[in-house]
A = this chain, B = another copy of it.
Amino acid sequence: MSRFIYADHAGTTALSQTALAAMTPYFTEQYGNPSSLYRFGQEAKADLERARADIAACIGAKPEEIFFTSGGTEADNWALKGVVELMALKGKTTGHIITSAIEHHALLHTAQHLEKQGYAVTCLPVDELGRVSPADVEAAIRPDTVLISIMAANNEIGTIQPVAEIGAIARKHKILFHTDAVQAVGHIPVDVEAWNVDLLSLSAHKFQGPKGVGALYVRRPLRLPPLLHGGGQEKGRRSGTENVPGVIGMAAALKEAVAQLEAEGARLSALRDRLIDGLTRLPYTRLTGDPENRLPGTASFVFEGVEGEALLLHLDARGICASSGSACSSASLDPSHVLLAIGLPHAIAHGSLRLSLGADNTDADVNAMLAAVPEVVAYLRNMSPVWDAAEQKPTWVVE
């Protein structure tokens, strides 16, 4: 880890040593198939169920409400497509879904896919801090609304949503409520009861669990039709040979994260605030997202007159791993939909930087970033045709 500073924990994390140690025996020793009858398989099954119970406990759910998936993407896809199919089974082939403009693409692209198939989708706007207004949610409800899906915390700008209030509205109107809690679980307190959610997505690699494993919480007695058909694992809801090591690793990582949540949250928030404080002193620089209700580890900015990719590559050359908007969209030409949704002009949205902190980050890392980022920003601005070096201000009139 001394090679570089990893500040992309919202993108993915290293597997924790605890999780690795928990998983290891399941690769070559306890490799039994949980669906098999012999003891060796039934032992794996028992361990799988213990992991399920552990994960359930971490989010205030019952074990039988947790269904394992291959990650957050599958969980998000399943939640939306599952509700739509549930409605279809009841004879309703069209309907309406409420979501927000700043959801992860796993949610938005699934919603768009459903839209193409005839579903109506309302993408609620957010305010300049990236907050969805519960009143907007309520106002958007139509007689045919079948699902409200609002993420718990945003992956690019760290804004935490008023999930409990939105959940209460959904409950009042008897509409199913899903939250993509991929960035929240293991980082802030998550309670499916307090939040009134019916469906919740999580992904292990965001909290030092393994990649390629996640879960969907499905409130009982809701019977969500399967997305993947087959051998009938997960009580027929999600087929496929169970990823036992993955699930064991996820449970171990989550238990650890939740146990340390308060202390680590405080530590990271302090580091994060130092970053925010230091970098927002730069001219023509703004924090993105909510300064108050934000993920402990996520500091996110836009720098006028700087292009994000160039910024990232120069930081990389200085040994700092960071991200500009969502990791997945970094190969795209358009600036992040989240930054546009909070009202940033395209030109400025291109200059975004996300520094997301985690277990391995220290005070020294923050110092190093506080030194490197301003240097790179100044360097790039100075080579830009739209920056007045003498006056230290942009020359452009944006949009």
Contact = CB atoms under 8 A, between A and B. Distances in A.
Interface of A: 4, 6, 8, 11-15, 17, 20, 27-29, 31-33, 35-41, 69-74, 76-77, 104-107, 109-110, 112-113, 203, 205, 210-213, 227-233, 239-246, 309, 312-313, 315-316, 320-324, 326-332
A8 B33 contact: yes
B323 A36 contact: yes
Contact of A231 (B73, B232, B242, B313): B73
A198 B85 CA distance: 29
B12 A240 contact: no
Contact of A28 (B20, B309, B326): B20
Contacts of A315: 38
A31 B12 contact: yes
Nearest to A27: B15
A388 to B, nearest CB: 28
Contact of A14 (B27, B37, B324): B27
A329 to B, nearest CB: 7
A106 B73 contact: no
Contact of A211 (B74, B109, B246): B246
A241 B205 contact: yes
Contacts of A72: 240-241
B329 A211 contact: no
Nearest to A39: B316
A37 B113 CA distance: 28
A109 B316 CA distance: 48
Contacts of A39: 316
Given A32-B12, A70-B70, A212-B246, A40 B228 contact: no
A121 to B, nearest CB: 13
Contacts of A15: 27-28, 31
Given A20-B27, A40-B321, A71-B243, 9 more contacts: A11-B33, A12-B241, A14-B31, A37-B309, A37-B330, A70-B243, A71-B241, A73-B229, A210-B243
B232 A105 contact: yes
Contact of A230 (B109, B231, B316): B109
